[in-house]
Structure 1
Amino acid sequence: MQVSNLLETPSSRRKIITLKDPSGVVEMKAWGDMATNLQIEAEQMVKISCVTIDQYLNRCSLNTNPSTTVEVLNEEEEIEGIIDAACLDQDMMSVLIEEQLYKVDIEVMTRLYPSGEFTPGVEIHATVKGRSIVEVFNIRRPDEENH
């Protein structure tokens, strides 16, 4: 998610929020008081209700209205699963677990893949907040199977 600065004209105030999820990208314009008071950051997960859908030149976008609500979802939850893929590029470190993409920092990635190379079958038990892994409880590698 990307959030623009407040854009003001003599007759309006708005922010443009670029929302992303696995299905794609859509822009939402927050207007008036919603634009002024909206306090969301790029890494947060949000639940947005009651928006107006606009379509112009075959392109959809969203607009807030007086009924729009924005809820920041900051709850932590535990996940367990096998890492299906990993991006080890320093500026885009992430892992794919059960079709969900999670960002990880360099310390977590180093714990997962000490050699710096992806190894299939690594199982992880961790805490996530939004779409970021914030704590790792257990890592099990395929070569550590119980016999």
Structure 2
Amino acid sequence: SITGSASNQLHTPYYLTSNSRDSVYIGDSDNHRVQKYLKGPSSVTQRAGSNELNYSNKDYATCIYSGSSASSNNRLDHPYGIACDSNTGTLYMADTNNNRIISYASDTSFGSVVAQGNGEGAGSTQLSDPRGICFDSSSNSLVIAN
């Protein structure tokens, strides 16, 4: 089955991005994780998250950020948009139901909140279910569809 929570499965995937290192990242929304698919076989490890997903598989993917809905920096609640800064390898995620954008520097295991409102809302310092994001390397800017 394609739908599920195993390392070779996705459940309601939204958005994907790639980097210059032969990796593709997919927001696996209903599993509250982001999957990293590598070119060719590799070992599977979990680099960050709640340790709810522990598995080893040599053919599919790396679960890099995971968690059930919560608000700590390593727990995602329906990640949708994903963008990658190809110059630094930093990965940006729209953590939609937590109303924030989190960044993960290349090869780190803990995220940093880079955009978060003061609670959900439409104010100039708030986010409300952000979904689409794009990193513009020419201006070094993150564009958020909120």
Q: TM-score if structure 2 supplies the norm length?
A: 0.24
More helix, by proportion: 1
More strand, by proportion: 1
Q: TM-score if structure 1 supplies the norm length?
A: 0.24
Larger Rg: 1
